[in-house]
């Protein structure tokens, strides 16, 4: 088994704006913390608005909504106290003015967090731009895996997981993360390979990854079913399968195919995080030269191949 920090969850970052959506996600965060004997880092941030006006000539006063930030700190302290007393979970308060997504990722990096758990809505429309984009910004920039919880999800544990396999990196690492979260529960896993129908050559690599993962599941005595699908729009088809199979956790690699740089995440992850009706565990794998060698392509060849065919891929080379 590969050595990786994600085998154990010690620190969970939980951002909240005190809405029903975030409080719904808190139940999952607390349950995970109890199961892993982890600490929870409660995080809140807000953009401050500044108002300046002159009272006398050549003088001015500047006012902000710091009062709201102070009130939020009191709410966080109260929340910390309630969780520690009722759930016996150690909590820490983190609050600062500024961009929420940036601050969430900053706390996760500073504390070397193992997981971020946050609420989202899983709905479409105007509201999605505000709530959904914040969740996606965190997924895009977080230094650790992110578990997003839609408001419609009312459970605190997971029983049926969809583990989609694409032609990308990090399959084993993603499995280790999923395993660390659900191993204590009785779960079943749907392991589904998704092959881009415009790139049928992917079938060999996806099949190999699927076979390796099935061996791991057998070794860990986890019940599973496996399938391979050809798809024109992989993200859309994964969302459909999660609904059809009544999945309660979707685990994805939050990176563009063959793009291991963390500075960019493609529309695949964005579409799933925004539209999933179930919790999504997003994981950004680290690139390893061995992965490229296994497919008999060099790093530069992979980048050239996919940046030339994918309009969303940046040109690194």
Using CA atoms, how far apart are residues 241 and 312, in angstroms rounded to an integer?
25
Distance CA 239, CA 275 (A): 8
For residue 148, the SS3 value is: strand
Across 82-102, b (16+ Cβ under 10 Å) vs e yields ebeeeeebebeebbbeeebbe
Rounded Cα distance between 299 and 288, Å, is 9
Average pLDDT in the 276-282 region? 91
Measuring CA to CA, which residue among 23, 61, 8 is closest to residue 176? 8
The full set of domain ranges for the chain reads 5-44+81-309
The answer to whether the Cα torsion of 176, 146, 194, 275 is positive or negative is positive
pLDDT over 60 at 66, yes or no = yes
Structure tokens at 292: 């490229």
Residue 42 has a pLDDT of 97
Q: For tokens 């896993």, name the residue.
A: 189
Q: Which of 103-117, 121-135, 238-252 has the lowest mean pLDDT?
A: 121-135
Instruction: Say whether 82 sits in a helix, a strand or coil.
Output: helix
> DSSP class of residue 245?
T
* Backbone dihedral angles phi then psi of residue 254, each to the nearest 5 degrees: -85, 60
- 67-118 per-position pLDDT tens digit: 777 888 899 999 999 999 999 999 999 999 888 899 999 999 999 999 999 9
CATH topology of domain 5-44+81-309: Rossmann fold (3.40.50)
Tens of pLDDT, residues 189-234: 999 999 989 888 999 999 998 999 999 888 888 889 999 999 988 8
- Interval 7-30: pLDDT, tens: 678 999 999 988 888 888 999 999
Check residues 91 and 4 and name the one with the higher pLDDT.
91
Q: Measuring CA to CA, how many Å separate 229 from each of 15, 209, 241, 309, 316?
A: 36, 14, 11, 22, 31
Inter-residue contact 244 to 234 (CB < 8 Å): no
């Amino acid at each position: 088994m590969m050595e990786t920090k994600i085998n154990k969850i010690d620190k969970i970052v939980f951002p909240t704006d005190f809405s029903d959506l975030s409080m719904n996600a808190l139940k999952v965060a607390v349950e995970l913390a109890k199961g892993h004997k982890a600490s929870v880092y409660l995080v809140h941030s807000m953009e401050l608005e500044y108002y300046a006006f002159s009272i006398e000539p050549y003088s001015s006063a500047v006012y902000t909504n710091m009062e709201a930030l102070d009130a939020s700190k009191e709410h966080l302290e109260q929340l910390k106290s309630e969780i520690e007393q009722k759930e016996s979970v150690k909590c820490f308060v983190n609050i600062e003015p500024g961009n929420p997504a940036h601050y969430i990722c900053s706390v996760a990096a500073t504390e070397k967090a193992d997981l971020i758990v946050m609420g989202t809505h899983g709905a479409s429309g105007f509201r999605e731009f505000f709530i959904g984009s914040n969740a996606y910004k965190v997924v895009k920039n977080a230094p650790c895996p992110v578990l997003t919880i839609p408001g419609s999800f009312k459970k605190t544990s997971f029983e049926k997981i969809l583990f989609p396999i694409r032609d990308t990196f990090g399959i084993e690492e993603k499995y280790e993360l999923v395993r660390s979260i659900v191993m204590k529960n009785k779960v079943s896993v749907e392991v589904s390979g998704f092959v881009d129908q415009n790139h049928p050559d992917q079938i060999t690599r996806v099949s190999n990854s699927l076979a390796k993962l099935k061996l791991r599941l057998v070794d860990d005595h986890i019940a599973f079913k496996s399938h391979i699908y050809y798809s024109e729009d992989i993200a859309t088809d994964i969302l459909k399968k999660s609904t059809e199979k009544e999945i309660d956790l979707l685990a994805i690699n939050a990176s563009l195919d063959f793009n291991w740089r963390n500075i960019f995440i493609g529309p695949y992850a964005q579409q799933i995080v925004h539209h999933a009706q179930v919790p999504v565990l997003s994981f950004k794998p680290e690139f390893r030269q061995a992965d490229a060698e296994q497919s008999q392509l060099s790093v530069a060849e992979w980048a050239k191949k996919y940046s030339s065919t994918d309009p969303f891929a940046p040109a690194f080379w």
